[in-house]
Amino acid sequence: MKLSDKAEEILEALWIAVEEKKLAALDPQDFTIPLEDPAYVELTGRALVEIRQGLVYFRPEGKVEGRTTIRRHRLAERLMMDVLNIRGEAGDYKACEFEHLLHEGVDTKVCTMLNHPTTCPHGKPIPPGDCCDQARAEGDLGVVPLTEFKSGQEGEIAYILTEDNKKMQKLMAMGVLPGNRIVLLQAFPSYIFRVGYSEFAIDSNLAKEIFVRK
């Protein structure tokens, strides 16, 4: 069964204390959720943590759960910033609520969509999931900007990411449309690519806004 939101928060705090601050345990007095909270009972009842002399310790199963919980939290932060463009405190706050939805494969989908990020917006590492390890093993680059292609490499256009409407129209007029095949012919001094039967040259500012998948 799914843990309560509060229980997940506690697991996260404990994971950060143990894995990142290298402490032995979490002291609930330094934390926003006091020891009297029923969430602690929920966790001990599931044998994820144990409480000795007022301090919270991981049990082995709890550590695994904590890792995936922190992973969901940081993925949610990335999602807020990269895709929904919500930044700062508002983004942190929304991420806290959003993370609890990333269960049962949703986290894998979000992770793949974000192309398996390794750090959260605050620069802390996101523990890799199975999908990340699999992508690494297969050498699957996922969706990357055209600037990451090597010359001669061919791929499919995934989307164009630009806030400038004019740029978007210029690119579409060249035939840079989602689903079209694209071949990068040269990367220096300018990017040259072929779409259909036409060749175009663009600078790196435009090239980094075309996202392609192999």
Residues that bind another protein (CB under 8 A): 165, 167-175, 177-178, 186, 188-190, 192, 197-203, 205-206
Residue 119 or 205: the one with the smaller Cβ distance to another protein is 205
Cα–Cα distance, 93 to 96 (Å, whole number): 5
- Output the smallest distance, CB 159 to another protein, in A: 9
* Amino acid at position 45, single letter: G
CA-CA-CA-CA torsion for 12, 67, 36, 1, nearest 10 degrees?
120
CB of 144 to another protein, least distance (A): 20
**CA angle centred on 148, ends 142 and 153, rounded to 5°:** 85
Nearer to another protein, 118 or 180 (CB): 180
Beta strands in the chain (DSSP E): 49-52, 55-58, 143-145, 154-160, 181-186, 191-195, 198-202, 210-213
Q: How far is the CB of 80 from another protein (least distance, A)?
A: 21
Nearer to another protein by C-beta: 29 or 198? Answer: 198
Q: Nearest distance from residue 79's CB to another protein, in Å?
A: 20
Name the residue nearer to another protein (CB basis): 29 or 188.
188
Q: For tokens 């959003």, what's the residue?
A: 98
